[in-house]
Amino acid sequence: MPSTSARDNTVSNPVIAGFHPDPSICRAGEDYYLACSSFEYFPGVPVFHSRDLVHWTQIGNALDRPSQLRLPPDSTSSGGLYAPTLRHHDGRFWLIVTNVSGDGNVLFTATDPAGPWSEPIRLPGVQGIDPDLAWDDEGNCWCTVAGVSQIRIDPHTGETFGEPRRLWSGAPGAKAPEAPHLYHIGDYWYLLIAEGGTERCHGVSIARGRTPGGPFEPCPGNPILTHRGTDHPVQNTGHGDLVQGPDGSWWMVFLGVRPQGGTPGWHVLGRETFLAPVTWVDDWPVVGEVSPAMPPPPWPLQEPAAVPVRDDFELSELAPGWISPRSRPEENCTTKERTGWLSLHARGGSLDDPEAVFVGRRQQHLSCRARALVDPAEGRGGLAVRLDEQHHYEIETTSAEVQVIARIGPLRSVVASHPVTGGPVVLRIETAVAQHITDARQGPDTVSLGVENAEGTFVELAALDGRYLSTEVAGGFTGRVIGLYASAGTVHFDWLDYEPLEG
């Protein structure tokens, strides 16, 4: 999470680090709420709260019950939930999202954004991803989707009215007009979209009209946000959403990545949530500078919440930051079997299996350390860094041996092994970002895997190139998740701690 520096009066950007893409934001009184895409992970759509737009705390996941989120075992990684829109209207919170692996477009409501959220309201008449919600002065609810098209809906029932109408779709020939958001600001309706694809050519453009359906005139300064063709440390900027501050100022949250290493640059944390100020010139928004160290908003900042670096699994339910691919049945994952331990019961084989039992947290720092105390007496499992089924590194233990395993595309290899004498063992993974680029082919970081001996000293068994756990290599839309898994039998975990290593 971001920090505030008294020395130079700046705050760090991204404001929500790690795999938190496609941010959508709303304000209710003095409070801000933000939701992000979660793709194949369960629970789905993390929800955050802030009082200052800078310091964010996860308060839950909107889709935390199997009845809300169906992700079949054979659904692909980077499938699942795409691009939620979160809005506050008429005293309620509304969240609309696309499940590309199951139910299509679905809508949820809540009186408290921390939950519980409703059962899904299905929208079979809404075709397209990245759905948006906006209400006009007559109370009509308009749903706009990537493409860009729009249809009127009843958000209480999911019924649609009429045929979809085409709207402005960005610059002629620009690919992937998506992430539409519609706002009524002053005398105009503004249609904000992303275009150019979510890679290096990503950008945000805007148009305005007198009605929710247009016609829309494009901003002469489009794109209003992009870092394409630059050497800016934040790339792939796009998928923005606007919010107004308490002093009348405007702000944009958007996604971006922080590539590291040589050419072409690799990002490993996924797409993260950034913040930038917005001013208005001739009734057009102008996005201010995007900086890793930005001036704070002109109002008091709240004290940043302490980031939990250790989980001792003493609660009956896992904290909201823990996620698993596709599902997490209690019979496979529980803290109730052995007091103060997390018990995982294998159902798939290795992490190559879509049904593998894995519980992780997003990697949020370029350099970090994760440690776990593991009792493998009844099975086999360990500590892993996962991007998807075909890209992961893990250190796995039985009661007799520890192995480092690397899966890179079609290749799977046992990289190193080390005997153990039985009983619980401390497994450790460290990532270290490359500080000096000496070769254009140099990767973004090194992932070191090993064990701690009885004196607490790290015994490194392997140091692997981090580029193979990057989006540029693996493809898709997610970022690294560090976590615990069982590949055979039952494995118990006493604790996991996660610690940033950079300043």
Is the domain of 277 the same as that of 315? no
Question: Same domain for 266 and 382?
Answer: no
CATH of the domain at 420: 2.60.120.200
Question: Does one domain contain both 14 and 137?
Answer: yes
Q: Quick one: pLDDT at residue 435? A: 85
- Check: CB of residue 118 under 8 Å from CB of residue 102: no
Indicate whether 301 belongs to any domain: no
> 39-81: per-residue pLDDT in tens?
999 999 999 999 999 999 999 999 999 999 999 998 999 999 9
CA distance 386 to 356: 12
- Residue 389 within a domain: yes
Q: Please name the helix (run of DSSP H) or strand (run of DSSP E) that holds residue 474, with its range, or none.
A: helix 471-474
**Is residue 178 flagged as an active site residue?**
yes
327 lies in the same domain as 446: yes
- How far, in Å, are 337, 352, 410, 495 from residue 329 at the CA level? 14, 19, 29, 20
Domains held by the chain: number: 2
In this structure, the answer to whether residues 49 and 125 fall within a common structural domain is yes
Of 33, 18, 10, give the one whose Cα is nearest residue 110: 33
pLDDT of residue 10: 87
Residue 305 falls inside a structural domain: no
Question: Which domain, by its residues, includes 409?
Answer: 310-500
Claim to verify: residue 221 and residue 358 sit in the same structural domain: no
Residues 319 and 344 in one domain: yes
Asked which of 294, 328, 356 is the last residue of a domain, the reply is 294
For residue 114, the Cα-to-chain-centroid distance in whole angstroms is 17
Task: With a cut of 50, say whether residue 290 has pLDDT above it.
Answer: yes
Q: Round to whole Å and give the CA distance between 457 and 476.
A: 37
Last residue of a domain, one of 294, 321, 339: 294
Q: Is residue 303 part of a domain?
A: no
Same-domain check for residues 360 and 481:
yes
Spatial distance between the Cα atoms of 375 and 418, rounded to a whole number of angstroms: 16
Looking at residue 499, its pLDDT comes to 94
Q: Which residues pair with 490 in a beta bridge?
A: 345, 378
> What integer pLDDT is reported at residue 218 of this predicted model?
98
| Residue 302 pLDDT | 87
Confidence bin at 348 (pLDDT 50/70/90): confident
pLDDT in tens, 210-261: 999 999 999 999 999 999 999 999 999 999 999 999 899 999 999 999 999 9
CATH number of 37's domain? 2.115.10.20
Q: Are residues 379 and 444 in the same domain?
A: yes
At residue 307, the pLDDT reads 67
* Reported confidence tier of residue 304, pLDDT bands at 50, 70, 90: confident
What pLDDT band is residue 8 in, cutting at 50, 70 and 90? Answer: low
DSSP labels, 384-424: EEEEETTEEEEEEE-SSEEEEEEEETTEEEEEEEEE--SS-
Q: Are 107 and 94 in contact (CB under 8 A)?
A: yes
Give me the mean pLDDT over the 421-430 stretch: 92
Whether 106 maps to a domain, the answer reads yes
- What are the pLDDT digits (tens) for 70-88? 999 989 999 999 999 999 9
303 in catalytic set: no
Band of the pLDDT at 9, cuts 50, 70, 90?
Answer: confident
Shared-domain flag, residues 169 and 59: yes
Which structure tokens are listed for 322?
């823990």
Could you please report the per-residue DSSP string of 300-321? Answer: PPPPPPPPP-EE---SSS--TT
Asked whether residue 86 falls in the same domain as residue 189, the answer is yes
CA distances from 248 to 90, 125, 158, 219, 300 (A): 21, 37, 34, 22, 15
Residues 462 and 495 in one domain: yes
Question: What is the bridge-based pairing of β-strands 310-311 and 31-35?
Answer: unpaired
Q: Which of 294, 322, 347 is the last residue of a domain?
A: 294
pLDDT band at 6 (very low <50, low <70, confident <90, very high): very low
Nearest to 142, CA basis, from 206, 214, 80 = 214
In a domain? residue 304: no
User: Which one of 40, 178, 389, 430 is the catalytic residue?
Assistant: 178
> For residue range 392-420, what is the model confidence (pLDDT) as tens digits?
999 999 999 999 999 999 999 999 999 99
Q: pLDDT tens-digit profile of 155-213? A: 999 999 999 999 999 999 999 999 999 999 999 999 999 999 999 999 999 999 999 99
